Structure 1
Amino acid sequence: MHLNHSHLRSAAAPLILLFIFTSLCFSGASCFTSSFKLHQVPATNVSLEFLDPTLPPAIPRETNPKCSVLVLQRDFADTVGSPPATANYTQPPDCPAPWTRVVLELSFSVSDVQRDRVAAVWVNGAEVIRTTTPVPTFPGGAFWKVHKDVTRYTSLLRHLGDAGTVTMRLENSNVTSFPGVFSANVSLHFYRGAVPVARPATIGTAHPTVKGLYREPADLIIPISCEKGAEGGGFWLLVNNDSHVPAASVTIPRNTYRAVIEIFSSYHADDEFWYTNPLRSSFQGQLGTSRANGGFRQLYATIDGKFVGGHIPFAVIYPGSINPYFWSPVTAIGAFDIPSYDLDITPFLGLLLDGQPHEIGLGVKDSQPYWLLSGNLHLWVDAWSDVVEAGLVEYSSPPLQINRHAEWRNPDGQSEVNAEGLIRFSGWVSSSKGNITTTVRQKVKFKSQVEVQNRGAVKQVEMTNKERTTVAVAKGHQTVGRVQVFIEAPLQVQTSSVNAIGGAVFEKTRLYHQLQEIVNLNENMAVSTSSLTDRQDAEGSVLMHDGAPVWGSGSTRSSYKYRDENTCYLRTVNAAGGVVKFDVASPQCSAVASA
């Protein structure tokens, strides 16, 4: 989505809609009247609640925080081009650090019809959450809440004093057609003492993560972001193309013994639908875009220009995308808490421990204008040493093998992108903890296919990403810790369309999207395994005019299952016609019935 606009327009007058649809059905075109239903619009004085249909609560409901602090409150009306909202922050005097858990809560409401937006929150310049807003399509507006466990950022919160700031950016334009104003409250909930684990410790939000070996939050977090920050357009780094790698200068403590780069990202403009892109710039279609480069992208980081790791991003579907009626009142996987991606750069500490500034760059392979990136450098510091030593032992990073093939007979055809790669980094760090060698190994296999048939009337996208990432820590010849993350993320979208007079297009779409993740953790001879399956199936119809949906229908089935040796969490949510029809969760792993 663009920062200052999306795709959804307010509904036209009912008589105009009736005329368009009647013209469509009596112009000789085929209609899907047997399954098409008008979207049921609530009364104008009713506000609709949107929800994330997957993740379990960050904290069990029966556990109360030690204290809660409202750190920022702001209404976002016409804020395009304005500096982000900023508020001072101090530690809560009633519950000082250390904390067992810290949960960030975003409480949103929008007063009227509005498009979807992207927003983010920073603490002292370090991003802690990126999110999107749903699409309220009626004057009653909408409200929703987003909770995120931000315990890994406690060093930011712990070190904030009177000069500490919390910043939020949400660019909104409340013009006549979209008069809605977003109201946002940012709160922090602090917990002390024993807190039950309600959410998997090693599982992130819809993306692979390697946090199993980092149970303790980092001692220091350095932002990798725009230096202008709140003075200009926010802390985001703008990436315009494949060769554009913006960088930030950082100097790290010389007694750092572990380092992880966390990357936040969102995609906009020409790359808003990168996961549906064909390999032909002249292709025009409602699946997403007329842009080329295919459906492959890779987020990556560099140190002084040297590649140090990357991830293929999970295809988060924005609330205004494909068929907006799929995402009312539920949201797509990861849309409320857009995933960040961790890169263990401990093997490269030998390049950074000289006390001098170094350039950490963030880029997107095969990208088009534009992506918004930011990063956090998580550092663990040896309190018992002033200086530690480190060195790079192995660096194997051959370029990804990417094969592209396209056959087009305007406007029909097909294109395919396949990518494979294997990287391996290893390095040692000598500190008070001993001489520790960290080895990172990642294998990637990716495939994207786009096919268009029947003179552009039938379009199909299939994409899957398989990654296996291993981080192993050894002391001498003995492995003392290892985490393996296996991920598979398939996406399928099928759309058929017929033309209506006046330039309108009637589309019928089916979608299947899933994340499967398995984490194997071996730490101090203790072995544990966890698995996650997050899936959404949706189908519906929509009437498009001038590239924007006018009205339609959609039904979405969401299912989430997490299991480890001690826990099993199941949730199934079915929504149709803008209403939740079925919502059942079970923390005991008993069978969750389907509606």
Structure 2
Amino acid sequence: MTQIGMLGRGLCGLGLVVVLSGTAQAAPAAAGFTIGSPNVAVADPAVPRPPGRACTVELFNDVSFDDFGTRPYSYAPPAGCGTHWKKVVLEADFSVTAGRQYDRTATLWLGGVNLYFGTTQEPSAAVSPQWHVERDLTDYSALLRQAGQGQAIIGNLVNSTYTGVIHGSARLVFYPGGGQGDVPDAVYPLGADPVGNTTVLNSGSDQLARTLTLPRNVERAYLDVFTQSQGGDEFWYTCVPDAYAAQTFECGGGNFREAEVSIDGQPAGVAPVMPWIYTGGIDPYLWRPTPGVRTLNFTPYRVDLTPFAGLLSDGAPHQVALSVAGAQGYFSATAALLVYRDPQAAQVTGRIVRNTLAGQPPTPTIGSTLATDANGNLSGDITTRLSRQFTIEGYADTSRGRVRSTVTQTVGFDDTQSFLIDPSTYDQHSVQLTRVDSLSARQRGPLVETYTQHVRYPLDLDYRQVTAADGSLSAATTVRQGQESDTARGLAGIPLYSTRLSNQVEAADTLQFDASGAFTGHTGQQNTQHYRFEDNLGSCYEASVASTGGLLSGYTQGQGCPAGRNRLSWFSRPDGSPDSREHAPL
């Protein structure tokens, strides 16, 4: 009997080509979408822009990606646009020709720093998809004030079998008028490549690490983290502990993954791992025309390292490192250290006074109710649980006095995998929740500034394979996937700014195969995405897309917002990307 470990991964690995059926009459819709179109349709918002003129710097234009080589480009800051900007936005457009092709990882770089990280949409024999992505790079302004070398990397195999050629263009758009102190003073890439590339982490002991000697007046520090599952780890969320791998026909190694940050070997923070499902994942029909949550455009998770500011300012070299607990070959990782400096002090001193993350290894608790009956049928659950609460506290003596910084987090992982396996049925139902609840507090005298964040990555995945009496087979998949985030900033007990984000995708499809294993078609394809963002200053964004049979069947926007219209303040970040300006200097 073919199991999920063979079928789900096999479809992606073989680059299954299917023709989108149906030629529904096209009707115009909002936001450039066309009802009845098979082209990519997402509900994600664009990056909001400030009013006024903008300056554009082209990075590359209509470049083809048909091999595994890099595509280098040169960058120079925009002329006549100042050196401080209210906002900087990366815009990129991609397409892939119709035919057979894998989903591919795409990255853009400058001076070793990642500008964009995502994956591509798979084509079909009849559809050449196109898509647009944006990323707010305002916090990387220090990097963009100087000329440098960059490169685009989309490794892509093109031959007589895999025919899809990827094309891409990218540019940076600058909005002048920002003030000094609004953004980090320096950006340091982790990794050895001076132009930029990811680092492979094959196991939990592998590290992406860099030793840095920083300026002696660091007062705040943050690490932007990307950890993307690839290779044998692409479907990590379906894996089971080694002890149960054979009887469940699943990958071993367990399904707990978490990014670990350290400074000089001392635990310094954690970052959750998003269970991305790429557009060839499990069943390619699920993601046409709408991919999974943030599949085409990742956002980094920002780890607050400010309690270490005094230590990092001592003039000595310090190693900043990133690893992925549970990695099984492999994760692709990159990170960037963002640093604020005290403009009035040549030397900041300080130290860590408490770190309860040390001594709390990321070791989950495993439970199982799996049992085999008298007929050899297997049923039951495997549970994986981990919850850690920790506090990291340090102080820095700045030009304004002593500032105490405390980061308190509760990080959790809850997963239940339910199995039913008998001669005709293989059913695996995974319900998973990755969560982080964090509080960053900075205190100078009686004045306290706080920032809270609650992040959730829910995943509900059911795969049911049934073999009929004639040997034919059906494989039904349903997926519910989400990104949820609530943030709040306060000063001296006064609420200043808060946001709420919900991004939900639901998809279903059933693949069909004859007794020889040949693919014969699919039924029941449907997909919906609902996106909502709001803040306490009047921003409100809502959009939903729906598809049936691989064609866009519905689009709405503004529902539930005042006057039924979307409105976003230019400084808001409705994609949930981090913004260090959430923290004001004390």
Range into which the TM-score falls when normalised by the shorter chain: 0.7 to 0.9
Partner amino acid for 1:564? D
Partner amino acid for 2:304? D
Which of 115, 119, 142 is the equivalent residue of 1:128?
115
1:394–1:424: 8 Å Cα contact kept in structure 2?
Answer: yes
Q: 1:399 to 1:582 in 2, by over 3 A?
A: same
Deviation at 1:440, TM superposition (A): 0.1
Which of 41, 48, 62 is the equivalent residue of 1:59?
48
User: 2:117 aligned with 1:111, yes or no?
Assistant: no
TM-superposition CA deviations, 1:560-582 (whole Å, max 9, x none)? 12222222211111112222111
Alpha-carbon separation, structure 1, partners of 2:87 and 2:117: 20
1:111–1:181: 8 Å Cα contact kept in structure 2?
Answer: yes
2:213 aligns with 251
1:65–1:189: 8 Å Cα contact kept in structure 2?
Answer: no
Matches within 5 A, 1:132-171: 132-158=119-145, 160-161=146-147, 164-171=148-155
Partner amino acid for 1:146? V
1:418–1:448: 8 Å Cα contact kept in structure 2?
Answer: yes
Alpha-carbon separation, structure 2, partners of 1:482 and 1:123: 32
Matches within 5 A, 1:313-462: 313-397=273-357, 398-400=360-362, 402-406=364-368, 407=370, 409=372, 412-413=378-379, 414-455=381-422, 457-462=426-431
Deviation above 6 Å: which 4+ runs of structure 1?
500-504, 544-550
Matches within 5 A, 1:121-270: 121-158=108-145, 160-161=146-147, 164-193=148-177, 216-225=182-191, 227-230=192-195, 235-270=197-232
TM-superposition CA deviations, 1:82-130 (whole Å, max 9, x none)? 3x21111111113232111111011111123221001111121111220
User: 2:533 aligned with 1:562, yes or no?
Assistant: yes
Alpha-carbon separation, structure 2, partners of 1:504 and 1:70: 53
2:480–2:507: 8 Å Cα contact kept in structure 1?
Answer: yes
Partner amino acid for 1:274? W
Q: 1:138 to 1:94 in 2, by over 3 A?
A: farther
1:69 aligns with 57
Which of 476, 481, 488 is the equivalent residue of 1:520?
488
1:134–1:331: 8 Å Cα contact kept in structure 2?
Answer: yes
Identity of aligned residues (%): 24
2:218–2:348: 8 Å Cα contact kept in structure 1?
Answer: yes
Alpha-carbon separation, structure 2, partners of 1:292 and 1:408: 18
Partner amino acid for 1:412? L
Alpha-carbon separation, structure 2, partners of 1:458 and 1:302: 40
2:39 aligns with 49
Partner amino acid for 2:533? Y
Alpha-carbon separation, structure 1, partners of 2:518 and 2:300: 29
Partner amino acid for 2:234? E
Alpha-carbon separation, structure 1, partners of 2:212 and 2:371: 47
SS at match of 2:85: coil
Alpha-carbon separation, structure 1, partners of 2:81 and 2:377: 63
SS at match of 1:152: helix
Number of aligned positions between the proteins: 531
Which of 264, 269, 273 is the equivalent residue of 2:235?
273
The Cα RMSD (Å) is 3.1
Alpha-carbon separation, structure 1, partners of 2:486 and 2:193: 40
Alpha-carbon separation, structure 2, partners of 1:126 and 1:569: 30
Alpha-carbon separation, structure 1, partners of 2:518 and 2:153: 25
